[in-house]
Structure 1
């Protein structure tokens, strides 16, 4: 509590002892004016020590995820795709979106999790929220709008499962403005960790990075795609942990090179040089590089019998965040993320249906001999 003054500490102690104490009661106990107590309470809310009305105290080690909630459709061709005509396919439908997937993974691992996003006032949006509630995710900060429909993504795959074409309707996220950050600030400020994906508009992402200065939570960000990586601010200072794949990193840095883990290590160090505290650059089946405090280490990918890569990157992020919340260093946390990513490729679901803390621990032996 180094960021609190002596009077703020005294006010917080009374609130912790009696969350139902009124401001006048606190003022009388401390010999302060009620207006002074009100100002201190406001600062305690802004700094995340209380959640506002009712003086609710935040849960320990809580995560807040901000970004995309998407309905995914996949169409896998039974035969080689022929353009400009009808092709027989097998179809699947699932819930997606980077932040949404990360939120579900974290909740299944036992982390108290809140989600901040926008969905349309439609059946699809209602289904996404109902599913997250069933998983134990707090969706009280998700806004429902009539302006746009819930985001959707459709992928056409060849018989091997490789992407032929992807189409996305993500216009609803253009409505995620800085005032949504303000609206949910008490939830963010009281969290241990906040994660945002680059489905947020550039000015909203910049506002989040700027406002978190002085806040107690760690901020993690994922680039999402080579197109959306451009939404990141030029100065990455304020981002404690940045996730990118090698293509996104190359796009950001204006460089080439994607054949070895040395390329990922170089990219990670360059991104750290732009202000990011820690950086994870992934290369799929080749592995990843992790940069922290001007040091970089590379790790081979965890061996897996892959069925479907969908959701693997999001699972990797969730595993890494889970490790950080368990007070692992960034290298060990990233390794845990790579394990969860590998496990997710072994199922056709975007989030592993058997996921739990026990399930993850039961497969921890697969991390042996991973360092590159």
Structure 2
């Protein structure tokens, strides 16, 4: 069997699995829409011997579940990811010498666009993925620059929210002469404005995607609503905890999460592991997260590589040796490389290996997203995994 036939069969299996979530009447309505996207509700009602109001209710459910998009019954595009979460203006300062507290330290400054969801979005756009981005930004020069930059990369930013109630989020990182983070400060108050009801306005955009990636810059109530509404939808949900404090925003029931990215500290926070008790091993933390309902887990261990947990058990993926210049954005790159491969229906271990490669390539650049990144660039460096 040729690769193209395999992809078609895999897509068909995925589609069949999604259809199992529909009632018999919903499937019948969807079949008529697929056969004729311009069919009217009364035509469907007459053909299926249903009340028009019943057909209208089924179409609402098909829209909520991501099988059709809004009025006109536009069908969702294949292989699409939507990222929802943080868009941030980053300021990075590299110290020339060991940092001394309570005095001025000479540094070299660098400014860029950041935020976990935004970085993942740019990485995936540079890799040629059909991608949408949802966030909340200030009605200011910084916010407009972030959206313009993504738009030029081909990202659909039409659902991004612009507000004059708060400025665009900012993050400042101070790195020591060893390129390790010494201090980070963040003004992320604008994300508190991304309320659960905001999800309603963008839901068809999320529900019609193959994957939705969310970061924990979103408020707790919004994340809880996202997981609750995900039930019955066609997309798979990947989540990054961002930090130990923000991991606490996720609910205790994580059964809506198909793929969780986090490190061991964030796992302890998410699991509410009691202070003063022995720390969990990566394997213990992964098993505890499975018990909370997470389907698959990618736990980063810095230079120690990555532990993954799925239905096949727990495995270790070694990191790709690097000559780091700046580690900022490495975790976001790992997420991006992993999702890029999963969208192409690769198995999780292979996807994570590509993610570790992209993380390494990113650390070897002074940018949060490698400026030379493309599918060809990534392919040209795959030998570094195999060596």
- Taking structure 1 as the reference length, the TM-score comes to 0.93
Q: Distance in 2 between matches of 1:337 and 1:8?
A: 38
Match of 1:353 in 2: 371
Match of 2:284 in 1: 266
Q: Distance in 2 between matches of 1:96 and 1:281?
A: 22
Deviations 1:314-340 (A, max 9, x none): 010011111111111222211221111
Large movers: runs of 4+ above 6 Å = none
Q: Distance in 1 between matches of 2:352 and 2:41?
A: 44
Match of 2:5 in 1: none
Report whether the alignment pairs 1:247 with 2:247. no
Identify which of 36, 59, 62 aligns with 1:41: 59
Please report how far the alpha carbon of residue 29 of structure 1 lies from its aligned counterpart in structure 2 after TM superposition.
5.0
Q: Distance in 1 between matches of 2:325 and 2:103?
A: 28
Report whether the alignment pairs 1:63 with 2:91. no
Please report how far the alpha carbon of residue 120 of structure 1 lies from its aligned counterpart in structure 2 after TM superposition.
0.5
Match of 1:317 in 2: 335
Secondary structure of 2:248's counterpart equals helix
Q: Distance in 1 between matches of 2:55 and 2:75?
A: 17
Match of 2:125 in 1: 107
Contact 2:93/2:108 (8 A) holds in 1: yes
1:1-372 counterparts in 2 under 5 A? 1-253=19-271, 254=273, 257=279, 263-293=281-311, 295-368=313-386
Contact 1:250/1:256 (8 A) holds in 2: no
Structure 2 unmatched ranges of 5 or more: 1-18
**Greater alpha carbon shift after TM alignment, 331-340 vs 148-157:** 331-340
Q: Distance in 1 between matches of 2:61 and 2:247?
A: 34
Contact 2:215/2:241 (8 A) holds in 1: yes
Contact 2:29/2:44 (8 A) holds in 1: yes
Q: Distance in 1 between matches of 2:79 and 2:54?
A: 30
The RMSD of aligned alpha carbons is: 1.8
Please report how far the alpha carbon of residue 256 of structure 1 lies from its aligned counterpart in structure 2 after TM superposition.
5.3
Q: Distance in 2 between matches of 1:157 and 1:179?
A: 38
Deviations 1:131-186 (A, max 9, x none): 11111111111111111110000112222322222110000111111112111110
Deviations 1:209-254 (A, max 9, x none): 1111111111111110011111111122111111111221233342
Q: Distance in 2 between matches of 1:313 and 1:257?
A: 23
Please report how far the alpha carbon of residue 13 of structure 1 lies from its aligned counterpart in structure 2 after TM superposition.
3.2
Q: Distance in 2 between matches of 1:27 and 1:143?
A: 37
Secondary structure of 1:54's counterpart equals coil
Match of 2:10 in 1: none
Please report how far the alpha carbon of residue 297 of structure 1 lies from its aligned counterpart in structure 2 after TM superposition.
0.3
- Taking structure 2 as the reference length, the TM-score comes to 0.89
Secondary structure of 2:185's counterpart equals strand
Q: Distance in 1 between matches of 2:264 and 2:21?
A: 38
Please report how far the alpha carbon of residue 118 of structure 1 lies from its aligned counterpart in structure 2 after TM superposition.
0.4
Contact 1:308/1:346 (8 A) holds in 2: yes
Contact 1:265/1:281 (8 A) holds in 2: no
Q: Distance in 1 between matches of 2:38 and 2:122?
A: 33
Please report how far the alpha carbon of residue 257 of structure 1 lies from its aligned counterpart in structure 2 after TM superposition.
4.9
Please report how far the alpha carbon of residue 77 of structure 1 lies from its aligned counterpart in structure 2 after TM superposition.
2.1
Contact 1:245/1:282 (8 A) holds in 2: yes
Please report how far the alpha carbon of residue 28 of structure 1 lies from its aligned counterpart in structure 2 after TM superposition.
4.7
Q: 1:13 to 1:283 in 2, by over 3 A?
A: same
Secondary structure of 1:228's counterpart equals helix
Q: 1:335 to 1:256 in 2, by over 3 A?
A: farther
Q: Distance in 2 between matches of 1:74 and 1:316?
A: 20
- Equivalenced residues, count: 365
Q: Distance in 2 between matches of 1:161 and 1:5?
A: 55
Contact 2:180/2:327 (8 A) holds in 1: no
Q: Distance in 2 between matches of 1:308 and 1:298?
A: 24
Structure 1 unmatched ranges of 5 or more: none
